[in-house]
Amino acid sequence: MNKIPVGILGATGAVGQRFIQLLENHPWFEVAWIAASQKSAKLPYAEAAKWKMNTAIPARVAKMTVSAADPRSAPKLIFAALDAAIAQELEPRFAATGHAVITNSSAFRMQAEVPLVIPEVNGDHIALLEQQEWRKKRGGYIVTNPNCSAIGLVMALAPLARFKIEKVMVTTMQAISGAGYPGVPSWDILGNVVPYIAKEEEKMEAEAKKLLGSLKRSKIAPADFAISAQCNRVPVEDGHTESVSVKFGKKATADQLIRAFADFPNKIAGLNLPTAPRQPVFYDTAADRPQPRLDINRGGGMTASVGRMRPCNVLDWKFTVLSHNTIRGAAGAAILNAELLKVKGYLD
Amino acid sequence: MNKIPVGILGATGAVGQRFIQLLENHPWFEVAWIAASQKSAKLPYAEAAKWKMNTAIPARVAKMTVSAADPRSAPKLIFAALDAAIAQELEPRFAATGHAVITNSSAFRMQAEVPLVIPEVNGDHIALLEQQEWRKKRGGYIVTNPNCSAIGLVMALAPLARFKIEKVMVTTMQAISGAGYPGVPSWDILGNVVPYIAKEEEKMEAEAKKLLGSLKRSKIAPADFAISAQCNRVPVEDGHTESVSVKFGKKATADQLIRAFADFPNKIAGLNLPTAPRQPVFYDTAADRPQPRLDINRGGGMTASVGRMRPCNVLDWKFTVLSHNTIRGAAGAAILNAELLKVKGYLD
Amino acid sequence: MNKIPVGILGATGAVGQRFIQLLENHPWFEVAWIAASQKSAKLPYAEAAKWKMNTAIPARVAKMTVSAADPRSAPKLIFAALDAAIAQELEPRFAATGHAVITNSSAFRMQAEVPLVIPEVNGDHIALLEQQEWRKKRGGYIVTNPNCSAIGLVMALAPLARFKIEKVMVTTMQAISGAGYPGVPSWDILGNVVPYIAKEEEKMEAEAKKLLGSLKRSKIAPADFAISAQCNRVPVEDGHTESVSVKFGKKATADQLIRAFADFPNKIAGLNLPTAPRQPVFYDTAADRPQPRLDINRGGGMTASVGRMRPCNVLDWKFTVLSHNTIRGAAGAAILNAELLKVKGYLD
Amino acid sequence: MNKIPVGILGATGAVGQRFIQLLENHPWFEVAWIAASQKSAKLPYAEAAKWKMNTAIPARVAKMTVSAADPRSAPKLIFAALDAAIAQELEPRFAATGHAVITNSSAFRMQAEVPLVIPEVNGDHIALLEQQEWRKKRGGYIVTNPNCSAIGLVMALAPLARFKIEKVMVTTMQAISGAGYPGVPSWDILGNVVPYIAKEEEKMEAEAKKLLGSLKRSKIAPADFAISAQCNRVPVEDGHTESVSVKFGKKATADQLIRAFADFPNKIAGLNLPTAPRQPVFYDTAADRPQPRLDINRGGGMTASVGRMRPCNVLDWKFTVLSHNTIRGAAGAAILNAELLKVKGYLD
């Protein structure tokens, strides 16, 4: 099978590197074009990028020349790993010239006609892209995946939605890789907790409602629950841990809730997407799990791990959820989105 | 002035060492007797204890001989830093023989006639010790301080009580020193979060209500609010950080809440207790504070630092509180209790 | 092909768990028997072991019942992951009853008739086992792999031996996993360096000479060079980093030394042992490598990574070497030894 | 007594903040002028500096306005905490206009007529400043303190110089604060070792010889020994730990060496400099000390702690030395230099 050529915008940064790592040996996609900022352009990738993954830089990509971020030379399918400010400007330029922009950036996530997608949760939302002017005119579009802290929360909440979620409290303990490279100075985080991540609480709250909302007459009606997030940075390399408490409209037992994770009506079941984990949400019965060091790689980093379901004296139930912030929460999320778009015919 | 001789039960452990460190140069108290388990007895303290404080072992104490835990040789005033199971057995034995046992152990905290005290918050609760049979018979008694995670929370809540606390949600990120020595294996916590600390959530919830309760007819009527705690261990050396959310019966503005911390009707104001911080609760206006590495030593480790007061979509207001878990949350707490007992005449 | 059944002594500890992790899906060996201390015996493995690997516990092994450490029920091939004191007693008992004991313990490493082996370096030393009385009487024997800090050093030195090593200085920065579980208390190592690991310096110095020694008339003549080690513990999870300086008898250029790593006359080249890395020693030309977080998994954790070759003002050349301490330095080392024994006919 | 007004160049950076912290309540000096880069000028200090010390920002300094780095408005005595490139340009400008520039920068350390001083070790080298043209013309001069990694090594070596040092090997494990703020990205150092610090090895080697050299006919004759350094970054907040090995011209016993630390012919003994520690070098007899978390604050962070003296198979003796890199290794070093200059009349 001929693989589909893909381009990566922002290829030298931390998420860009994760894209390149995860796409090595991908059965459908092949990195064919990499772009980065002006100062990297024309350099071999191995020279332009300070490679920070814990596997070797793929030999083929290492030798590729970094392009300028010019849509004319790029393949149709683009993965974007750009800072929001740059994405704001570049992504529409690519979409307007017919590219399928699958982006991890926050720039367009909350825009009405842009799908914000976790395939297992709301894969049907991709239909929204038909509303985009870019699509109508030249076939291009933008599809986004959520913030790295929203994705674990929403994956844990989605299976519980049948009990009618009314209120959600979440406190996060987020890994430093979520801030990219160089990101968090070690001076700030070694042996420390920083109880603030700029704009993170707002993103979590807004994105969770859009993700759990429903597609009605080509629009997303956001889910109707109250949500409050408190975001903290902790000295962990990868993996966002979240203490969650939920109030439901329907009574549920711990057993029913735990079973709901296993029975999750996963919207991509049966599609055999290469990056989809066998089990999107795994419930661990051990008293002290999930833990980032032990559990982030479950399902190739694509499974959200949940544990400690127990009654809450203020809302109804509380639990802990963990997800890999740069795989399930960034590059892996975008790749899974692209796989869904492929099988749904949006890459033809 | 002749200093009051004090004994330390459990002197070789982590909290015992903190007692010895904090009592060096104390203006009122002087370590005169140190006791530990059988295997340490008769050894010089420097040999019995694996000293783990970041200041030098006080030379005078280093040479003292460790005693067996026998009340007959002990001074009246005893600071106890024992495991709960041992405290359960030893502390009554000391109280029954006329000793004032000021303990950090959890064994008797929730017992009806035992004061559980943070002097600034509920110093009046010490009157409860008059209900103790030990006191009636031989003059001895037990006074406790709260769990290291409850103390920061309650110090932040106490000034807000005037707005009628109805619901409290708290997620903790606790330092490893809270587990003593050897305590948490590095294998478990380096670059990790452990979302479980045995019995901690139950202690926080129960102790907070007793601490904020009121003394009525020689009994504590626990405060009447719902509280739910989620406790996590993080790779921090000292300092418990807590993300808190509160619902109030009376409307309040952020400004009123923040002013309440400064105006806290501190129950020991004016007593000039040596270990009391000038300001029990400090509100930091910076966007990203408090942080353990930067803020735990405020007020000699006795001040609780609060920050990030902002509206909560689920309850009313949310904020972060930080306190030093082995000073304000353990040895310093007990010493302050003893100072209060002294000025109130209970050590005469 | 029918796999060879293997037993694991000390299966519940940190190295025991690594054995089970690495043997899952091994093409030649299959875990058939697991033994641990009395208190674990008769429990299902999943219950007896507090599983601390970052991959899931293999389902088949999870259900196996832990046996007592009795040779009678054990398969011929035994991997041992025991504390030295217990190994001292148990390993001879297994060897004496005809078992092939492939051990990670230090108990017998320096014994004259016991091979201490890194296959690529001194695979021929296995012939020594023919000198063991156990082998002569009942066919059993003991084969050892080196200490986790010695193995990286020796893998880097072996290719340089052609330049006649005269003096070696090495300072280690060792990961906490080298001390097993619970091992190093977090109190001791978070944000800290501990400049002492009991007996480690002595082991490194003695083992390096035996490993680089030569087999002459059924005896090992230890290599003739001076060696001095300084061992430190650092807050790293996996991977021992070592700053090495060497004096050679023959003049060499940096280029010659670096080429020597690639040209290493690997004693198992061509044998296709499943656990052998394609490249035993990898030289990284980057200025700031090797680093544990980025490089320990090279070659499945079996490759030693070297970097920073530069002149030394006191000896001749200095460089940094890194190896995975619980794979190349423990369980993986033993498995590779067993693979070599298999192809050499010692498991028939 | 009227305090001497001092200015701080580079006041907002990490070392600048340490100067301000250490000078609060200094008996002789008082911060009177603070300067930083253009973008900070005219701001109140509290706003210009992102305060990262673990004590509160001194209230008086918080309100001071940051000046441009213009010598005309500055007091005579200047502490400089500048990047080398900026120091290269600014420091001569201040010296040329009559200022006493006491700097932590590396820019002029190795210049022939610039004293590189650790007062206890080579306080007499300050006489060198009389050779400076600036001094001759307008009274100004530059005095430097060594690199943070050189200072601990040299403090440990100086007492041993009587045994005629011939060869020195040192491997460092350096704290992240040595790189300033933001300095080392957490992505690079959490759970990691980086075996490279730009130019550090060269600085250590060159500075050690100048520091231990002797002043002859207004010139420094560098000490005559071979020295080789290997520098590593480790995830430690403060405190550089160094594994050292030394060859001596005169035979010495462990006892003699250890006694030499206590008997160190400290060149400022008796001068009662406020920042001078009672004991410049402390030898710890414990098997596993010194350790950064426990020992860096000895002598107010000005004492170098040594331990583990034992024979070396390659050179003669090996030991571990630890010093506080931003107090003894930076701001405290410069302040002590200024104190020496004061009592020697160079500030009159």
Q: Which CATH number goes with the domain that contains C72?
A: 3.40.50.720
A294/C190 touch (CB, cutoff 8 Å), yes or no: no
Chains in touch with C (≥3 Cβ pairs < 8 A): A, B, D
Express as a percent the part of chain B with pLDDT over 90.
97
Q: Please list, in sequence order, all residues whose beta carbon lies within 8 angstroms of the beta carbon of residue B289, skipping any fewer than 6 positions away.
A: A195, B295, B305, B307, B308
A295/C52 touch (CB, cutoff 8 Å), yes or no: no
- What's the rounded Cα separation, in Å, for the pair D15 and C27? 57
C194/D288 touch (CB, cutoff 8 Å), yes or no: yes
CA of B155 vs chain A CAs: smallest distance (Å): 18
pLDDT of residue C265: 84
Q: Which of residues 243-302 of B touch D (CB under 8 A)?
A: 293-298
CB C241 within 8 A of CB C173: yes
Question: In this structure, is residue A312 part of a structural domain?
Answer: yes
CB D310 within 8 A of CB D303: no
Question: In this structure, is residue B203 part of a structural domain?
Answer: yes
Chains in touch with D (≥3 Cβ pairs < 8 A): A, B, C
B297/D55 touch (CB, cutoff 8 Å), yes or no: yes
Once rounded to an integer, what is the mean pLDDT over residues A304-315?
98
Question: In this structure, is residue C348 part of a structural domain?
Answer: no
- 10 Å CB burial of residue C185 (0-12, 13-18, 19+) is buried
Distances B236 to A186, B190, C327 between C-alpha atoms, Å: 13, 9, 28
Q: Please list, in sequence order, all residues whose beta carbon lies within 8 angstroms of the beta carbon of residue B280, skipping any fewer than 6 positions away.
A: B120, B155, B264, B266, B299, B302, B303, B304
Q: Closest residue of C to D236, CA-based?
A: C191
Question: In this structure, is residue D121 part of a structural domain?
Answer: yes
DSSP string, A29-77: EEEEEEE--TTTTTSBHHHHS---SSSPPPHHHHHSBEEPS-GGGS-SE
pLDDT in tens, A209-223: 999 999 999 999 999
Is the CB of residue C184 less than 8 Å away from at least one CB of chain B?
yes
Q: Where are the beta strands (DSSP E) in B194-289?
A: 214-216, 219-221, 226-233, 240-248, 281-284
Q: Closest residue of A to C51, CA-based?
A: A294
Closest in C226, C289, C313 to D205, CB measured:
C313
Residue C112 has pLDDT above 70, yes or no: yes
Q: Which two tokens stand for residue C124?
A: 């021929």
B182/C187 touch (CB, cutoff 8 Å), yes or no: yes
* Shared-domain flag, residues B177 and B317: yes
- What's the rounded Cα separation, in Å, for the pair D95 and D134? 6
Strands D226-233 and D317-323, bridge-based pairing: unpaired
Q: Closest residue of C to D317, CA-based?
A: C228
pLDDT in tens, B116-173: 999 999 999 999 999 999 999 999 999 999 999 999 999 999 999 999 999 999 999 9
Which chain A residues are closer than 8 Å to B313 by Cβ? 205, 226-228
* Shared-domain flag, residues D175 and D57: no
Work out whether the CA dihedral D162, D167, D173, D178 comes out positive or negative: positive
* Shared-domain flag, residues C80 and C158: no
Q: How many CB pairs under 8 A join A and D?
A: 62
Closest in D52, D54, D191 to B297, CB measured:
D54
Distances A128 to A112, A222, D337 between C-alpha atoms, Å: 9, 14, 69
Q: How confident is the model at residue B51 (pLDDT cuts 50, 70, 90)?
A: very high
> So which residues of C are the catalytic ones?
148, 240
Strands A66-67 and A29-35, bridge-based pairing: parallel
Range in A16-20, A129-133, C261-265, D157-161 the model is least confident about: C261-265
pLDDT in tens, B189-203: 999 999 999 999 999
Closest in B54, B191, B298 to D297, CB measured:
B54
ipTM score: 0.96
Nearest to D199 by CA among D167, D244, D229: D229
pLDDT of residue A214: 97
* Shared-domain flag, residues D297 and D201: yes
Closest in C54, C56, C296 to A293, CB measured:
C54
C15, C187, C237, C296: which to substitute to probe chain B, counting the most B Cβ within 10 Å? Answer: C187
pLDDT of residue D1: 65
CA of C154 vs chain A CAs: smallest distance (Å): 24
D171/C171 touch (CB, cutoff 8 Å), yes or no: yes
Q: How many CB pairs under 8 A join A and B?
A: 129
The CATH number linked to C242 is 3.30.360.10
Neighbours of A63 (CB within 10 A): 11
* Shared-domain flag, residues C39 and C112: yes
Question: In this structure, is residue C316 part of a structural domain?
Answer: yes
Q: How confident is the model at residue A152 (pLDDT cuts 50, 70, 90)?
A: very high
Q: Closest residue of B to D52, CA-based?
A: B294
Question: In this structure, is residue A141 part of a structural domain?
Answer: yes
Express as a percent the part of chain A with pLDDT over 70.
100
pLDDT of residue B281: 98
Once rounded to an integer, what is the mean pLDDT over residues A171-188?
97
Closest in B14, B177, B186 to C176, CB measured:
B186
Mean confidence (pLDDT) of chain A: 97
Extract the residue ranges of chain D whose pLDDT is less than 50.
none
* Shared-domain flag, residues D204 and D64: no
C186/B191 touch (CB, cutoff 8 Å), yes or no: no
Which chain A residues are closer than 8 Å to D184 by Cβ? 185-187
* Shared-domain flag, residues C131 and C231: no
pLDDT in tens, C269-296: 999 999 999 999 999 999 999 999 999 9
C186, C194, C236, C238: which to substitute to probe chain B, counting the most B Cβ within 10 Å? Answer: C186
Is the CB of residue C329 less than 8 Å away from at least one CB of chain D?
no
Q: How confident is the model at residue B1 (pLDDT cuts 50, 70, 90)?
A: low
> So which residues of B are the catalytic ones?
148, 240
Q: Where are the beta strands (DSSP E) in B145-280?
A: 165-174, 214-216, 219-221, 226-233, 240-248
* Shared-domain flag, residues C98 and C225: no
Q: Which two tokens stand for residue D251?
A: 């035979």
Closest in A183, A191, A236 to D237, CB measured:
A191
Percent of residues in chain A assigned helix, strand, coil, to nearest 5: 35, 25, 40
CB C173 within 8 A of CB C149: no
Percent of residues in chain D assigned helix, strand, coil, to nearest 5: 35, 25, 40
Question: In this structure, is residue C103 part of a structural domain?
Answer: yes
Closest in C185, C191, C237 to B191, CB measured:
C237
Element (DSSP H or E) covering residue B304: strand B304-311
Collapsed DSSP state (helix, strand, coil) of residue C144 = strand
Closest in D181, D191, D235 to A185, CB measured:
D181
A54/C237 touch (CB, cutoff 8 Å), yes or no: no
Q: Where are the beta strands (DSSP E) in A237-336?
A: 240-248, 281-284, 304-311, 317-323
A237/C293 touch (CB, cutoff 8 Å), yes or no: yes
Question: In this structure, is residue D30 part of a structural domain?
Answer: yes
Which chain A residues are closer than 8 Å to C52 by Cβ? 294
* Shared-domain flag, residues B104 and B172: no
* Shared-domain flag, residues C126 and C160: no
Q: How confident is the model at residue C1 (pLDDT cuts 50, 70, 90)?
A: low
- 10 Å CB burial of residue C320 (0-12, 13-18, 19+) is buried
- What's the rounded Cα separation, in Å, for the pair B54 and B51? 9
Work out whether the CA dihedral C274, C280, C284, C289 comes out positive or negative: positive
Residue A313 has pLDDT above 80, yes or no: yes
CA of D309 vs chain B CAs: smallest distance (Å): 21
Work out whether the CA dihedral D107, D111, D115, D116 comes out positive or negative: positive
A186/D184 touch (CB, cutoff 8 Å), yes or no: yes
* Shared-domain flag, residues A336 and A311: no
What are residue C241's DSSP bridge partners? Answer: C173, C322
pLDDT of residue C334: 98
Residue A1 has pLDDT above 80, yes or no: no
Which chain B residues are closer than 8 Å to C49 by Cβ? none
- What's the rounded Cα separation, in Å, for the pair B53 and B14? 8
Active-site entry in D148, D231, D312, D324: D148
* Shared-domain flag, residues C107 and C224: no
C181/B187 touch (CB, cutoff 8 Å), yes or no: yes
Q: Which two tokens stand for residue B124?
A: 């009046």
CA of D294 vs chain A CAs: smallest distance (Å): 15
Residue B80 domain boundaries: 4-147+331-343
Number of structural domains chain D divides into: 2
- What's the rounded Cα separation, in Å, for the pair C132 and C145? 17
Q: Closest residue of B to D296, CA-based?
A: B54
According to DSSP, residue D328 is labeled: I
The angle subtended at Cα D39 by Cα D33 and Cα D44, nearest 5°, is: 45
Residue A107 has pLDDT above 90, yes or no: yes
Phi-psi region of B191 (alpha: psi -120 to 50; beta: other; left: phi over 0): left
**Sheet arrangement for strand C317-323:** C226-233, C165-174, C240-248, C317-323, C304-311, C281-284
Is the CB of residue D324 less than 8 Å away from at least one CB of chain C?
no
